[in-house]
Structure 1
Amino acid sequence: MYRKKLIDLIEGEELFKLKQGDYELIFEYDTIEELKDILEATKATQEQINSTMQQYTTAQHTLEKGANKIPDSKGLRFNDLEIKFVEIKRKSGKVGKSTYKAYASTFKKLQEFFKKKHIDTLTVEDYEEFREYLAKKYKLKNKTINNHMVYVNTFLEFGVNRQLLKFNPVKALESLSEEVSEKENFTDEEIQKILTYDSPQPHKTFLEIAIYSGR
């Protein structure tokens, strides 16, 4: 089983797309009852309905089997972890579309760098090299790299808590120092323009409080 853009999990009306083995699973409906209703509404023949529903059921069982199976931790790769992680998050219903996209972006980079390496064989030094890879290939700033590493830590903690992994080496990794952008203060002339601008209440009062309180 390997990664096939699990971000499709929350795109449009599709539930998710996943390529497993030699075939691709594509779900557009949450339940088999919904699928049956659509097939009947499109006036598909009974043979077509039975065939399609059988394919849906087989694919769903295959996915659930893969998501629920706990492999030997020494054989777990990031593509395996992504499938399990996203499936659990989907079931919880507490994750938004933007967060799924962030997960997918980080998982993609992990799989690009580590390829088919087993997660339990990776060390702190390996993840330090991964950060350097993000900086060199993607030209990312330290703040963005730190954000990716926060997600990596979340993924590994999930694996440890689910007894998929034995430990999380990223916990021992210190964050990179982030660039601090210098901010210029308003000039007296700019402040006067703000105060004399014909702003509606209570906006004008809010601006006066913010300026004179230094907030």
Structure 2
Amino acid sequence: MPPNRKPAIAPRKRPTQSRAIQLVADVLEAAIRVLKREGGHRFTTVRVAQEAGVSVGSLYQYFPNKESLLFRLQQDEWEATYAMMHQLLHAPDRTPEQRLRCAVVAFFRTEWDEADLRRALDDAGALFRNAPPAKAFYRKAMQRLAPFFAEMLPRASAAEREHLADFTLTVLASVGEKITERGLSRKEVERWAEETADMLCAHLARVARTPATNVRASIGRRETP
């Protein structure tokens, strides 16, 4: 039997004229409503088209399948989150540790504010999480955060800073997904935010104080099979 092919998640084309731009905007808004109401497992392009008041054919001009539409919603959500974090991590008149703390707390607040959408996107994430466009977006996010980690960790090598940036984003995504699944209250999410910020700030501050030779040695120990 031929191997199963993963569906393409790239958009079919991008709108250029104002009418087409508005149609795509209407489709995306409708997709969010359907996703929140129906969840990722019952999300279909037919339901989105009906919600947006457009034909399925019009939707397919821009999104070839439900996976591409869901990935666009996820990408927009990622873009907003990383833009917020980038702004906070590069805010003037604050130490790197203060900026990191603000970014972590803000991240968890957005998790709570958008819990319904995040939960639905998490349900649908298996459709595209390991697809090349998703991996490319993550690499782009890492590149955008690299200057902050270079500032906070001047003694560390580029490889160590990249590892710690990946570690930080993985911790945030993993913990954020868990607290979204549990439907915690705002007060409970604030506690998770503060404690996660404490952990990350303490760890990165320790690495920042470590002499470069010790940092390189620790990398060698981790890479030893």
TM over 0.5: no
Identify which of structures 1 and 2 has the higher relative contact order when contacts are C-alpha pairs closer than 8 Å and 6+ apart.
2
From the two aligned structures, give the one with the greater helix fraction. Answer: 2
Q: TM-score, normalised by structure 1?
A: 0.24
From the two aligned structures, give the one with the greater strand fraction. Answer: 1
Q: TM-score, normalised by structure 2?
A: 0.23
